[in-house]
Structure 1
């Protein structure tokens, strides 16, 4: 395990630099992958209602044998459940599927602004936290105007905003805004989901200089920027390599060189939270 200090939010809530993403880790194989990751040292496990694997993640946590209090499990409220009563039930169902007394970190998955119920969903998360069935609450894919609104409406600032971040889409302004407000940035698809990125000459060169893999160089870039990353990996080899990346330090010039790979069209798909709807 890395000895890197965890990243801390405005209320003292802390996350390790690297967690385990579980998208498409389902069934018995998914549960085994989660258990193996925890045994290797992962203490942040990320899932979502829409991944349809909360049961597998919960089974993996139980099978690992690691004390439950040492593990932070994140899940997410889907867009179709933003309404108050539906949100309340969805939060409870996630807890039951995971087999936990409380979810450690519960996020709104997407704001879905055209439906305009994300503020209602935020109030449902606040209520669940007050009831003790959710420990910490946050959001995913929120833009600054969405963050402003939920804090104004609910009086509670999220501890996390999980957003798309990778070298082709570095989100410099969002990362800076979150840091200013004490909101942790968590990067989904931190490796860009593609081989093209890992073949970029600047990344290959930096990796070679540190005797690490290009993927590790990208994860070290996230860590240097104060961003938590949650790469998905099913094999023990890849899980270990990703976890080890938190122990590699890049210098400022290397961080800037990787950030310079950013593109205006760098998103992986048409996932602009101002218009994208995911129910």
Structure 2
């Protein structure tokens, strides 16, 4: 099987998890190859996500690595069994690769949580809000590319129909305008409408909350089929950073709990957004 020319973040994650199993077993790639009867180069390529791996091979490797966590093994088998091309692949070459990885992360998550302190969460943005955001970059995007990004983000929002979604939004994000006042007002009303969906929860962190400054950068927490396969996506100045080490996951679970403790309750948050609407 030839090596992949493009490796997605999810394919990299599957390989990384197989590497973690090997390292927990105390085996080098060479020792794992000898024990499993698989070429060392194939072990390395698999762990890098450069070649696919069958469900049977995942089980074989897990057995060689003495992994007795059946839930984790079956979750990895499920990742290996995903052979289809997701809808996001239609946009490869049209939108940045990082956008495709985010869409795949959201689509495959068991549950999504996010904290945003500058922008409205992408899955809750109106079309007008999205257009305003993509009209602002310097230098400006060509119209064709801008339209592709708008369509792509709107398509991502279909995820809200299949997973639980918890969004914590800082007041600053609610007040910043991507376009004009009417777009901002419509955006707030859309958030209120979406918050009525049974699978969507929206909480607000107001400016006057004590002890919040500098608590966290914008992030998305995607829960996997098992806790070990959770992923944190943190916004940075150079793009999104995917974190999945156990210590990192533990830290960001704590960060989200702290933010949720500081946020208004669901009913209070709705009342808060209604007040903002009336001020416009």
TM-score by length of 2: 0.29
Which structure has the highest helix share of the two? 2
Q: Which has the higher contact order (CA 8 A, sep 6+)?
A: 1
Larger Rg: 2
